[in-house]
C-alpha cells in the first residue's frame, strides 16, 4: 500500500514540502485540499450532489458532505485530483472538467484526535446525467439536495455536516451563475 502524503502549504498556497497524511492530521499542519461539488439545474432550481461519508472513515464518518474531497498528490493538478477522487469515491467517470471557483483556509478539531487545517479549493461542475456507483468504503449514501433545503439544513442542523461543507456551499452559491 502506498503511503499517502499531503502537500504542506503556507496561507498563500506556496508549497513547503510533504508530510504523511495521518501525521499531518494529528499535528494540524496546514496542507492543500480540494472539495468537489457537482450541481444540476432542474425545473425546481439548483441541486447539489452530496455524499454521506462511510461510518468507518478516518474522521467525520456518517456526516454529509460535498460530492467528494481529498488532497492532490505531488505532480497532480487540483482538477486531475478531483476527477480521480470522483471515480474513486463516487464511481463517477463522466465529468471531463472542474472549475476552481474559490479557496479558503479553515481549521477544525475533529473526532479521533485529528485536526483538519486545510487550504481548500472549491471545484465545481454542472452535470446533466450521471452514473453513480459509490465505493462503500468511502460513501454510505448520496442524494441530490435542493439549494434552499440544503442551506436550511446546514443552518439548523450543522452537526449532520462536515466542518468544511458550509464554506464550500457558500462559495458555490456565491460564484455559480
* Residue 4 assigned ligand-binding role: no
Catalytic site residue 3?
no
How many Å apart are CA 176 and CA 168, to the nearest integer?
Answer: 12
Would you give the DSSP letter of residue 121?
E
Residues 71-96 as b/e (b if ≥16 CB within 10 A, e otherwise) read bbeeeeebbebbbebbeebbebeebe
Beta carbons within 8 Å of 173's beta carbon, 6+ residues apart: 147, 151
* Residue 151 assigned ligand-binding role: no
Would you give the DSSP letter of residue 29?
-
Annotated active-site residue in 47, 69, 79, 138 = 69
Annotated active-site residue in 47, 68, 79, 118 = 118
State CA 17 to chain mean position distance.
22
Catalytic site residue 20?
no
Q: Please report the beta strands in the chain, taking only residues with DSSP state E, as ranges in sequence order.
A: 5-9, 15-20, 31-42, 45-53, 64-65, 68-70, 99-109, 115-126, 139-146
Beta carbons within 8 Å of 127's beta carbon, 6+ residues apart: 38, 39, 40, 49, 94, 95
* Residue 25 assigned ligand-binding role: yes
Q: Which residues are annotated as a binding site for Mg(2+)?
A: 89
State the catalytic residues: 69, 118
Q: Which residues are annotated as a binding site for Mn(2+)?
A: 25, 31, 71, 116, 118
Q: Which residues are annotated as a binding site?
A: 25, 31, 71, 89, 116, 118
Amino acid at each position: 500500500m502506498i503511503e499517502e502524503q499531503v502537500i504542506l502549504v503556507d496561507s498563500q498556497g506556496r508549497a513547503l514540502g510533504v508530510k504523511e497524511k495521518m501525521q499531518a492530521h494529528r499535528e494540524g499542519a496546514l496542507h492543500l485540499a480540494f472539495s468537489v461539488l457537482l450541481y444540476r439545474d432542474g425545473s425546481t432550481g439548483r441541486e447539489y450532489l452530496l455524499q454521506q461519508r462511510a461510518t468507518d472513515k478516518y474522521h467525520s464518518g456518517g456526516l454529509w458532505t460535498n460530492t467528494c474531497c481529498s488532497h492532490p498528490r505531488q505532480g497532480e493538478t487540483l482538477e486531475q485530483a478531483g476527477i480521480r477522487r470522483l471515480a474513486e469515491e463516487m464511481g463517477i467517470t463522466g465529468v471531463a472538467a472542474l472549475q476552481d471557483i474559490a479557496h479558503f483556509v479553515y481549521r477544525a478539531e475533529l473526532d479521533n484526535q485529528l485536526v483538519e487545517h486545510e487550504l481548500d479549493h472549491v471545484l465545481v461542475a454542472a452535470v446533466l446525467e450521471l452514473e453513480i456507483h459509490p465505493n462503500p468504503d468511502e460513501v454510505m449514501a448520496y442524494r441530490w439536495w435542493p439549494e434552499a433545503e440544503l442551506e436550511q439544513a446546514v443552518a439548523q442542523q450543522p452537526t449532520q455536516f462536515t466542518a468544511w461543507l458550509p464554506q464550500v456551499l457558500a462559495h458555490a452559491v456565491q460564484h455559480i451563475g
